[in-house]
């Protein structure tokens, strides 16, 4: 049962936020945190939230000192209408986990069928026992839909059961006066406009204070009981309350179905109409229809995203959990992307980072390439904002994607470790090429991909310059934020080189096919620029220290003293929370993989010997204070033949959220880490590589595992790899014949045929 | 008449702020902007201010992104009680330059006698003519005292003359809703406590909102007229109004004397008592006593600070103006220092920078060393704050002086171009050594100087490290803010070397004299640290580029492209107001002298040939967007024998404020530039050098001048240098015999003897 997560524990303040995250429902469009329908005691630190992907307001972010063109406002994901609040009343007693006696309390996430469930056996202070089951779903098939099925069964009494179900437009974002990093007071960014009781449903619209966006929610209820139900609705300030009550007998099931449908002005011209039409359709189809289609949708998802670990059930479950969360988080249209915390919480304010392209997209590219295309199309849609960002930084040409954003504008408040991470341009270029190599989708390249590649390549030409015959890139920040605004960051320069060459390669390909002219005209590209790109790539300065035989992280990195990690007390980690940035900058100490990440992505730029030496060097000075680090160290260890290290770095990182290892899952899941774990297995342990030269694997099996298998798509084919103790089985599940290299040998795979390779 | 500045022009909105600055009165303790007593039209951009040096409140300065130990509040100089407001009423008509006819309107700054004067001939709308003279003074002898002598003479009528004189506790700082760099709204930082009419005077106390400081002002009036005067006082909210009226005859002089005395809780335990006692003393002595003592004080000041330019009266006047402003701005006690704008306006919020030690203190060290000692003692008094600053930046030992502060806490909001300018430690060390070499005051070194030198030297040991056998200093910012957080900034490393050697040299001297033990115990200094300091100084990495024969500004500076200054439109200067800092960082372009400043201070670190080459190199890429730049280029040009350049760079910089060249004098004077101009003449044109080896000059006379002369103190002696076209006259005005090198030859000077050297 690796697709089912159960938590059977007392609900208290310390796990409240964590469970809200773990049991959130999302479908890439809407996300609802798994808050208790009946609420929690007022003093608890709860983040009661419902989010629409890409829906934001703009808020002021004043700089302490005013310098030209600094970012002084940011987009922030908004908490929208609360439709998850439902109070249960048994005669005159309100149900709450904090009163009476909780005889059973199980929460379940069912990833096979796509819902969450609360199962409670509760005895009221007056002794009335009820069995409660609350099932919630955000539909993957009807993205605007969130449902609650609230079922109550009296166990030892006959009496009155009432529901008070709320539709609250009056909401604000999370705040925490005890944490200086969060807003101390909840500001109202979303102003209710219309909050009305309609015929058979309630409707609320709100608009943002500054971004001029609107959203609408409509809510309808169905009460199912054998006795006659009394229903009524009324309005209280900016909320509508629906009350339904029934006199019922012992053992009878009372069910309240609550349907919430959302719409927003980014995607819908006629907000209200769209929501109401969707609601009508939903009510017509009924709940079971959506349960069934959800199951079907997920069946297909698990079929093509199969990744199973044998011999470690906990890991197997964690891996499934991660993939499921990525699906829940991923944009299903081009108006949005994947936030660092998905739609599970307000951490990082719902911003999209390079995490998408470098850590999450690879999973979708291999298993669900349409979603990858959607993610890349989002980047295409914000090209203009990326152009403005480049201009505001003084670049005469090219585009620079924002380090963090929702709708495209740069939202990074401290540019030295935000905006200065120019490598994001190269990361997006890399993701485009990966998508192209994996799918062969040249149409996408023609329509969107090559334009992004050329515009980002142009930026590198503008940001870099020649010095002593080498193309150098100064004053940028690499992935490692413990060293900022440095020169010739190894990772960045590799990225830039790759980006330039990718742009040139596809330019030539499209030119050969006579399909480049439209783009050339559109972006006024000169042939000379292509020459310049090739030359810059060729002369790109990739640092190498002869004496030490390693690649320095930047041109002065090795001249700095090495941070004494051994003597740093445990409570001083993560370092960024305990040391002034300027202090960190002055040491050889890395927050995360930087040069080592380059070894995963750009392995041909150096010898295996250099990589091994460098790996061992950086290993000693990396704190892994970022959740994006250990997975990369694991992958590269796999590829360099350090199997034990590969497994050790992989370690429990798959369980980061499930076991709340960083103790901050309450603010939301870590989507990039989830993607990173997937890569650690598929690209690491199995050493899957896809490039212009084809596909290859060179797997190993971690000692503690009995086996693992996974499917991936390559040029339209679906391939399944099964790594066992002594043999590797490759199978073509869908598609026509395909060639795959396993270790050093090329194999031809025919449909539904297996190739078995003995490797021990 | 070089000590008298007159402006005879129509008063309007465009010169209002400028004149408020130019005609401000200050004495180093209090400063009163030269606002019109009767006020200006409400819509005018006036900065009505009175300041107490070192008196501040603490205000929030939120960072856009929260990183560890960033500065999140700042000290800001406060506008204190307004006692300069006096309305004049002629019968029922209020005097104002905006009504009636202004027949004469002259403003005067008399630097010989130390007052400002308004002389007005005004015809009221109803035809009544008056002659008005308003004389204001802040006393150098009684620092708490500000006086206004308001004299009115009816010219063509007999009638009633009334004064309405205000004492306003209800004040706030300047704001400007049109300038995003300034507060949009005036916040009340100073809360009135007690505003009372007493017997013969009024009293107001206020306390700050956060810094827990209090101040008190007391005001008394004397009305002088032949007829009987009717006097009355009343209170309106947080202000007290004194009204005096008299029926007078044509040609009779009516005089209102207004005495304001200030006290503050930084300096006085019993605020009110101190102020009242001072006021009583002042009233006893009478106005003339203070006019006379002011004149005496200034006579002495001009005697020992003599600097006269022959053949360019405008320049002569400008130079006097600058010296006078420095005297007005300079702290007279250790509780404060010299703000970037002195006490003349709220620009830079009254903060103290390195400007004091590097650009202003040299003037005082040469002419008024007691004031220099006071300034350095202020640094000693904030040692603890500098220690905390160092700790917050992660340094285990040593002190780092704040980049900008009032009471000692770092107030820099953007650390890459603020706090990261570690050279301030070396600048202070340099100022200490200059003071010592010039005065021979070993007592100061023993009591305060050596402790600062050792603690700053310790910081260099902590911030730097060895790499390839060289002592390197990474991630600091030099004086040039167009390149930030770089490695081995040439200027900084020179500073550090000097600082280390200074600490060691004086340590050894004091040890020899058996006077170091107390300090060694106090700061727990080990002999080993002295060895480390010597070694670090010896191995300090001073960049030199063999190929180009110049000193690179930092280790990657020369690898960057050169900013095309020629093609940069004029309206794009200063660059910092038009380009994102990250863009500026990526080019070879300098805001101000950086390496070139090192050539002035540390000329022995490189050959003359290198200096010439470097000078020419940096000259081409320096914008002089800082007012601290051209004077340095002038000095170094003088020393390298580039006489024309020396004069050209000096140019009009002496007139920066007097002629409002940067068009921002309305926010306050540029004290550092004023000091820089002094140095350009004395240390530049005359090439005055004082070091452990003695004193020397090697003057030249700018072609356009007929001569110049100046006095300076050296080891207690007062020396006068007169540079004429063909001869140089050196004279010992006070003191015993002294040896001075003129050009390459040593001369012995006996008291009141002249040495004449022919040099052409």
Query: What six digits make up the tokens of A261?
Result: 């449908």
Q: In terms of CA atoms, which chain B residue is nearest residue A470?
A: B559
Question: In this model, does residue B451 exceed pLDDT 80?
Answer: yes
pLDDT digits (tens, 9 = 90+) for B189-235: 999 999 999 999 999 999 999 999 999 999 999 999 999 999 999 99
Least confident of A50-54, A66-70, A588-592: A66-70
Q: CATH number of the domain that A267 lies in? A: 2.70.98.40
DSSP string, A226-242: SSPEEEEEEEETTEEEE
CA–CA separation, B36 and B45 (whole Å): 13
Report the C-alpha gap between B460 and A588 in whole angstroms: 18
Contact B556 A560 (CB under 8 A): no
Nearest to A146 by CA among A206, A84, A238: A84
Assigned domain for B115 exists: yes
The two tokens of residue A368 are: 């669900």
**Which of A393, A474, A583 has its CB closest to that of B559?**
A474
pLDDT at res. A181: 58
For residues B276 and B312, state if they share a domain: no
Q: In 3D, which of A536, A545, A715 has the Cα closest to residue A613? A: A545
Which pLDDT score, from 0 to 100, does residue B639 have? 97
- Tell me how close the Cα of A316 comes to any Cα of chain B, in angstroms: 37
Contacts 24+ apart (CB under 8 A), B722-727: B723/B685, B723/B686, B723/B699, B725/B701, B725/B760, B726/B758, B726/B759, B726/B760, B727/B756, B727/B757, B727/B758, B727/B759
In the predicted model, what is the mean pLDDT of residues A196-210? 97
CA B241 vs. chain centroid, Å, equals 34
A700 with A755, same domain? Answer: yes
The pLDDT of B17-25, averaged and rounded, is: 98
Please state the separation of Cα A682 from the chain's center in Å: 18
- Mark which residues 401-440 of B lie under 8 Å from A by CB: 412-416, 418-420
Residue B1's pLDDT is 57
Regarding whether B260 and B393 lie in a shared domain, the answer is no
| Within-domain flag for A612 | no
Q: pLDDT-derived band of residue A183, with 50, 70 and 90 as boundaries?
A: low
* Chain B: closest CA distance from residue A563 (Å): 12
| DSSP string over B375-391 | HHHHHHHTHHHHHHHHH
Residues A209 and A104 in one domain: yes
At residue A182 the predicted structure's pLDDT band, cuts being 50, 70 and 90, is low
- For residue B554, what is the DSSP state? S
Distance CA A350, CA A407 (A): 11
Per-position DSSP letters for A599-647, written without gaps between them: HHH-GGGS-HHHHHHHHHHHHTTB---STTSHHHHHHHHHHTT-HHHHH
Confidence band of B188 (pLDDT split at 50, 70, 90): confident
Range in A47-56, B330-339, B652-661 with the lowest mean pLDDT: B652-661
Omega before B574 within 30 of 0, i.e. cis = yes
Cα-to-chain-centroid distance, residue A305:
16
- What positions of B carry a catalytic annotation? 481
A228: burial class by Cβ within 10 Å (0-12, 13-18, 19+)?
exposed
Range of the domain at B509: 305-685
B691 touches chain A (CB under 8 A): no
Task: Using the 3D structure, point to which of A229, A249, A282 is the last residue of a domain.
Answer: A282
Q: Contact, B717 vs B704, CB < 8 A?
A: no
Spatial CA neighbour of A145 closest among A332, A6, A270: A332
Instruction: Say which of A414, A463, A472 has its CB closest to residue B67.
Output: A414
Q: Which of A614, A645, A641 is nearest to A631 (CA)?
A: A645
**Same domain as B563, residue B424:** yes
Is residue A214 included in any domain, yes or no?
A: yes
Residues A451, B446: Cα–Cα separation, whole Å? 69
Interface contact flag, A64 B413, Cβ < 8 Å: yes
Alpha-carbon distance of A130 to A120, in angstroms, equals: 8
B67 reaches A (C-beta below 8 A): yes
Structurally, chain B folds into a number of domains equal to 2
Write out chain B residues lying below 8 Å of A576, CB-based. Answer: 67-68
Q: What is the mean pLDDT of chain A?
A: 96
For residue B394, give the chain A residue with the closest CA: A583
Do strands A738-742 and A694-697 pair parallel, antiparallel, or not at all (unpaired)? parallel
Q: Are residues A205 and A343 in the same domain?
A: no
Residue B7 phi, psi dihedral angles, 5° rounding: -125, 125
Rounded to whole angstroms, the Cα distance separating B432 from B358 reads 11
Q: Which residue has the higher pLDDT, B725 or B175?
A: B725
CA nearest neighbour of A596 among A549, A550, A538: A550
Whether the pLDDT of residue A223 is over 60: the answer is: yes
Touching check for A555 and chain B: CB below 8 Å? yes
Cβ atoms of B414 and B484 within 8 Å: the answer is no
Residue A96 has pLDDT above 80, yes or no: yes
Average pLDDT over residues B552-562: 97
Reply yes or no on whether the pLDDT at A178 is more than 90: no
Q: Is residue B740 part of a domain?
A: no
Catalytic residue among A38, A129, A451, A481: A481
Has residue A121 been placed in a domain? yes
Looking at the structure, tell me whether residues A88 and A150 fall in a common domain.
yes
Interatomic CA distance for residues B90 and B247, integer angstroms:
10
Q: Are residue B356 and residue B473 in the same domain, yes or no?
A: yes
Query: Two tokens at B651?
Result: 């140019």
The answer on A249 and A209 residing in a single domain is yes
Q: Which of B393, B484, B578 sits opposite A68 (nearest CB)?
A: B578
Q: What are phi and psi of B130, to 5 degrees?
A: -130, 150
* Residue from A507, A494, A508, A506 nearest A537 by CA: A494
Same domain, B436 and B527: yes
Answer yes or no: do B156 and B286 share one domain: yes
Residues in chain A within 8 Å Cβ distance of B579: 68-69, 394
User: Rounded to the nearest 5°, which phi and psi values hold at A494?
Assistant: -60, -45
pLDDT at A554 over 60: yes
A66 band by pLDDT with thresholds 50, 70 and 90: confident
Give the pLDDT of residue A180. 58
Residue B181 has pLDDT above 90, yes or no: no
Residue whose structure tokens are 């070894």: A599
Domain boundary among A267, A282, A297: A282
Q: B576 — contact with chain A (CB < 8 Å)?
A: yes
Contacts of B463 in chain A (CB under 8 A): 586
Last residue of a domain, one of A244, A265, A282: A282
The pLDDT tens digits for A640-670 are 999 999 999 998 889 999 999 999 999 999 9
pLDDT > 60? residue B471: yes
- In a domain? residue A454: no
Report chain B's terminal Cα–Cα distance, integer Å: 31
The Cα B665–Cα B17 span in angstroms is 8
Q: Is 80 exceeded by the pLDDT of residue A336?
A: yes
> Are A229 and A334 members of one domain?
no
Percentage of chain B lying above the pLDDT 70 cut: 99
Are B63 and A67 a contacting pair at CB < 8 A? no
Is a pLDDT exceeding 80 seen at residue B178? Answer: no
Q: What is the pLDDT of residues B507-532, one digit of tens each?
A: 999 999 999 999 999 999 999 999 99
Give the pLDDT mean for A450-460.
Answer: 98
Q: Is residue B697 part of a domain?
A: no
**A760 pLDDT tier (thresholds 50, 70, 90):** confident
In a domain, B756, yes or no: no
CATH code for the domain in which residue B309 is found: 1.50.10.10
Beta bridge partners of A59: A74
pLDDT of amino acid A142: 98
Percentage with pLDDT > 90 across chain B: 96
Q: Name the average pLDDT for chain B.
A: 96
């Amino acid at each position: 049962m690796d697709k089912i997560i159960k938590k059977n524990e007392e609900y208290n303040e310390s796990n409240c936020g964590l469970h809200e995250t773990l049991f959130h429902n999302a479908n890439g469009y809407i996300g609802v945190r798994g808050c208790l329908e009946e609420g929690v005691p007022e003093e608890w630190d709860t983040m009661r939230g419902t989010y629409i992907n890409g829906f934001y307001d703009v808020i002021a972010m004043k700089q302490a000192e005013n310098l030209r063109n600094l970012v002084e406002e940011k987009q922030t994901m908004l908490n929208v209408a609360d439709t998850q609040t439902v109070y249960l009343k048994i005669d005159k007693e309100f149900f709450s986990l904090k009163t009476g006696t909780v005889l059973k309390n199980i929460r379940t996430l069912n990833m096979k069928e796509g819902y969450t469930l609360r199962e409670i056996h509760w005895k009221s202070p007056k002794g009335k026992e009820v069995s409660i089951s609350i099932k919630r779903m955000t539909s993957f098939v009807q993205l605007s839909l969130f449902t609650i099925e609230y079922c109550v069964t009296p166990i030892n009494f006959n009496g009155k059961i009432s529901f008070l179900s709320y539709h609250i437009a009056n909401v604000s974002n999370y705040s925490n006066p005890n944490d200086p990093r969060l807003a101390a007071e909840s500001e109202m960014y979303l102003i209710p406009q219309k909050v009305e009781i309609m015929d058979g449903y309630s409707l609320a619209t709100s608009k943002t204070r500054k971004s001029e966006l609107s959203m609408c929610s409509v809510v309808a209820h169905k009460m199912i009981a054998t006795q006659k139900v009394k229903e009524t609705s009324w309005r209280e300030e900016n909320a509508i309350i629906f009350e339904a009550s029934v006199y019922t007998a012992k053992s009878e099931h009372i069910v309240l179905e609550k349907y919430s449908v959302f719409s927003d002005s980014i995607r819908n011209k006629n907000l209200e109409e769209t929501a109401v039409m969707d609601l009508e359709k939903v009510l017509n189809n009924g709940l079971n229809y959506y349960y069934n289609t959800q199951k079907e949708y997920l069946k297909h998802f698990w079929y093509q995203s199969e990744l199973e670990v044998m011999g470690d059930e906990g890991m197997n479950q964690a891996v499934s959990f991660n993939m499921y969360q990525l699906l829940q988080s991923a944009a299903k249209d081009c108006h949005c992307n994947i936030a660092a915390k998905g739609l599970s919480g307000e951490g990082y304010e719902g911003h999209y980072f390079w995490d998408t392209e470098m850590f999450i997209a690879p999973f979708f590219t291999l298993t669900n390439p349409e979603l990858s295309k959607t993610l890349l199309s989002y980047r295409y849609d914000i090209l203009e904002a990326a152009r403005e960002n480049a201009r505001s930084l003084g670049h005469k040409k090219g585009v620079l994607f924002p380090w963090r954003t929702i709708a495209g504008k740069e939202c990074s408040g401290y540019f030295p470790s935000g905006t200065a991470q120019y490598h994001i341009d190269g990361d997006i270029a890399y993701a485009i090429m990966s998508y192209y190599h994996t799918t062969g989708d040249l149409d996408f390249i023609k329509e969107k991909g090559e334009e992004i590649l050329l515009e980002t390549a142009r930026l590198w030409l503008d940001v870099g310059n020649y010095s002593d015959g080498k193309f150098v890139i100064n004053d940028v920040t690499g992935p490692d934020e413990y060293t900022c605004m440095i020169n010739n960051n190894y990772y960045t320069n590799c990225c830039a080189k790759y980006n330039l060459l990718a742009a040139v390669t596809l330019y030539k390909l499209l030119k050969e096919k006579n399909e480049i002219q439209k783009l050339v005209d559109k972006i006024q590209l000169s042939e000379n620029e292509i020459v310049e790109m090739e030359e810059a790539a060729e002369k790109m300065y990739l640092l190498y220290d002869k004496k030490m035989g390693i690649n320095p992280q930047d041109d002065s990195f090795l001249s700095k003293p090495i941070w004494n990690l051994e003597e740093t007390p445990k409570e001083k980690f993560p370092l960024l929370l305990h040391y002034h940035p300027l202090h960190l900058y002055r040491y050889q100490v890395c927050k995360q993989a930087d040069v080592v990440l380059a070894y995963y992505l750009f392995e041909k730029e150096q010898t295996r010997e250099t990589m091994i030496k460098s790996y061992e060097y950086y290993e000693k000075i990396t704190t892994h204070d970022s959740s994006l680090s250990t997975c990369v160290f694991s992958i590269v260890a796999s590829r360099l033949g350090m199997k034990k290290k590969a497994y050790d770095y992989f370690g429990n990182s798959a369980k980061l959220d499930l076991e709340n290892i960083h103790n901050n899952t309450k603010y939301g899941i870590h989507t990039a880490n989830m993607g990173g774990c997937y890569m650690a297995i598929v690209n690491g342990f199995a050493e899957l590589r896809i490039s212009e030269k084809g596909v290859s694997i060179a797997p190993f099996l971690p000692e503690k595992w009995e086996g693992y298998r996974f499917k991936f798509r390559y040029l339209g084919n679906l391939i399944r790899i099964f790594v066992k103790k002594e043999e590797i089985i490759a199978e073509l599940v869908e598609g026509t014949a395909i060639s795959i290299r396993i270790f050093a040998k090329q194999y031809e795979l025919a449909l539904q045929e297996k190739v078995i390779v003995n490797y021990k």
